[in-house]
């Protein structure tokens, strides 16, 4: 029986967005203010280099680099004198860019389904953060009225680990006070959301509505494309009557994501590994 469901953030609960041009503009303005302007082409090349570093560390070292390190990579490539001056003026605006202007929005259906799920399951969030840290994602969730539905929030910039590692899931479940075999994780990335959850002994649910990663199907216990499918899908995984559930009060804590629209349940018998 399922007692908890955890979710990925980007590409699962919230639509992917990147703010590349906005962050390049902030960088350009900061360097100009410090009398060290650089050509746009040089800024774009340094930006791409920093993202390559971020992705390499995420894939190979299994942690998220900080915004400060990301900016240092850029400033080093650009050979900026006195980089500390630029760092001081850039870090916070880079991190908080989604609190202003064109901010990310929840995936359609999320705002409707979370209240209903929270009446049956303990809900958690597990996110590999990029340049937007956990403290900002909390504000976004609060702004959209979604924060109260979660018992716990786990962010890689705060724990030092990504979802490649089962420990990120296990620490979340410990806070939820639920054993892995009684929990499912919903996400869009096979290499983290699915592989990490299964390594922790959880069930893995693949969301295809945003990133469409079909290569994750072999790892998934269930697959869905729209949030109006999720309740029935979890009920089938759960094997219990949805109507028998009792509301569960949520208190958020912090741990320091036959037809083309059909839900697909795969039979998996005792394939979940024990948590180590």
Question: Number of folded domains in the chain?
Answer: 2
In terms of residue numbers, what domain contains 73?
20-99
Please calculate the CA angle 198-125-236 and round it to the nearest 5 degrees.
55
Residues 201 and 254 in one domain: yes
Q: How confident is the model at residue 239 (pLDDT cuts 50, 70, 90)?
A: confident
- Whether 271 is covered by a domain: the verdict is no
Q: What is the pLDDT of residue 101?
A: 75
What mean pLDDT value characterizes the chain?
88
Q: What is the pLDDT of residue 253?
A: 59
- Whether 234 is covered by a domain: the verdict is yes
Backbone angles phi, psi at 131, to 5 degrees: -85, -5
Per-residue pLDDT averaged across 162-186, rounded?
Answer: 98
Residues 173 and 190 in one domain: yes
Residue that finishes a domain, picked among 99, 124, 146: 99
- Classify residue 164 by burial, with Cβ atoms within 10 Å: 0-12, 13-18, 19+: buried
Q: How far, rounded to the nearest angstrom, does the alpha carbon of residue 96 sit from its chain's CA centroid?
A: 16
Reading the block at residue 81, the tokens are 């004198």
Q: What is the pLDDT of residue 238?
A: 84
Residues 256 and 187 in one domain: yes
Reading the block at residue 271, the tokens are 């394939």
- Whether 248 is covered by a domain: the verdict is yes
Say yes or no to pLDDT of 248 above 70. Answer: no
Residues 53 and 180 in one domain: no
Say yes or no to pLDDT of 242 above 50. Answer: no
Q: How confident is the model at residue 261 (pLDDT cuts 50, 70, 90)?
A: very low
Please calculate the CA angle 87-73-131 and round it to the nearest 5 degrees.
70
Residues 169 and 32 in one domain: no
pLDDT digits (tens, 9 = 90+) for 46-105: 999 999 999 999 999 999 899 999 999 999 999 999 888 889 899 999 999 999 877 899
Looking up residue 122, the CATH number of its domain turns out to be 3.40.50.1000
Say yes or no to pLDDT of 259 above 80. Answer: no
Residues 132 and 188 in one domain: yes
The pTM (predicted TM-score) of the whole model is 0.84
Say yes or no to pLDDT of 257 above 50. Answer: no
Residues 235 and 120 in one domain: yes
Residues 121 and 151 in one domain: yes
Q: How confident is the model at residue 275 (pLDDT cuts 50, 70, 90)?
A: very low
In this structure, the number of other CB atoms found within 10 A of the CB of residue 192 comes to 24
CA–CA distance, 220 with 38 (Å, rounded to integer): 46
Residues 168 and 91 in one domain: no
Residues 143 and 257 in one domain: yes
Residue that finishes a domain, picked among 99, 122, 139: 99
């Amino acid at each position: 029986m399922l007692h908890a469901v955890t979710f990925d953030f980007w590409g699962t609960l919230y639509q992917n967005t990147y703010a590349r041009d906005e962050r390049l503009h902030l960088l350009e303005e900061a360097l100009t203010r410090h009398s060290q302007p650089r050509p746009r082409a040089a800024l774009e090349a340094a930006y791409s280099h920093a993202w390559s570093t971020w992705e390499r560390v995420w894939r190979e070292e299994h942690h998220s680099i900080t915004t400060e390190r990301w900016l240092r990579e850029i400033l080093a490539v650009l050979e900026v004198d006195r980089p500390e001056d630029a760092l001081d003026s850039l870090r916070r605006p880079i991190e908080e860019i989604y609190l202003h202007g064109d901010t990310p929005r929840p995936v359609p259906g999320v705002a409707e389904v979370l209240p209903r799920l929270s009446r049956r399951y303990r809900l958690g969030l597990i996110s590999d953060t990029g340049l937007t840290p956990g403290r900002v994602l909390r504000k976004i969730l609060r702004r959209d009225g979604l924060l109260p539905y979660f018992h716990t929030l786990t962010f890689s910039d705060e724990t030092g680990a990504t979802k490649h590692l089962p420990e990120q899931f296990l620490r979340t479940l410990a806070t939820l006070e639920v054993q892995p075999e009684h929990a499912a994780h919903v996400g869009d990335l096979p290499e983290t959301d699915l592989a990490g959850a299964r390594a922790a002994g959880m069930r893995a649910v693949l969301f295809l509505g945003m990133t469409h990663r079909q290569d994750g199907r072999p790892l998934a216990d269930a697959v869905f494309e729209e949030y109006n499918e999720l309740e029935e899908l979890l009920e089938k995984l759960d094997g219990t009557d949805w109507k028998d559930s009792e509301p569960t009060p949520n208190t958020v804590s912090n741990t320091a994501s036959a037809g083309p629209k059909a839900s697909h349940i795969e039979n998996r018998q005792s394939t979940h590994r024990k948590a180590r």
